[in-house]
Copies of this chain bind each other. A is one copy, B any other.
Amino acid sequence: MQKQTFLTKNQQIVLNLVEKSSQPLKAYSILFNVQKKGLKAPLQVYRALDKLVEIGKIHKIESRNAFIACQDSSCQISKATAFSICESCEKVTEINNSKLSKYLNNFKDSSGMKYSKYNLEFFGLCKKCKNK
């Protein structure tokens, strides 16, 4: 069997929901919202999420245990991700900055370990929240 190149029904349902949301969604909130579409169990959601993360359609915000649609069309796979997170309103934005990604992709520490992947999360107050 070929490696899957399209999305299965469950994956498409989950992706549609995550893409409609402007903010990260939690797995059980996704589950709740797709139950009318026939996905009844957590595993069905987690499996779809796993695959969508693997192929880079969505990313997991680790510090929030939440999932957000990829906002960067050049981001084919979740191997170099950076996000800004507002600690007040929890707004999350994917950072697409080529200098930053170049810097981090080329980063080597003293251990000589070469990294194949990174995830960076910045925290602060967004403009809106700063002016309150």
**Chain A residues with a Cβ under 8 A of chain B:** 62-63, 84, 86-87, 93, 95, 97, 100, 103-104, 107, 109-127
Contact A123 B116 (CB under 8 A): yes
Stoichiometry, as copies per complex, reads 2
* Contact A117-B111, Cβ < 8 Å, known A62-B62, A62-B63, A103-B103: no
Q: Given A109-B122, A114-B124, A116-B123, 4 more contacts at CB 8 Å?
A: A62-B62, A84-B115, A118-B121, A118-B122
Contact A113 B100 (CB under 8 A): no
Contact A97 B109 (CB under 8 A): yes
Contact A123 B115 (CB under 8 A): yes
Contact A122 B107 (CB under 8 A): yes
Q: What CA separation (Å) do A97 and B107 show in the bound complex?
A: 10
Determine the chain B residues whose CB is within 8 A of the CB of A103 once the complex forms.
103
Partner of A124, one of B87, B104, B116, B126: B116
Q: What CA separation (Å) do A121 and B60 show in the bound complex?
A: 13
Contact B127 A123 (CB under 8 A): no
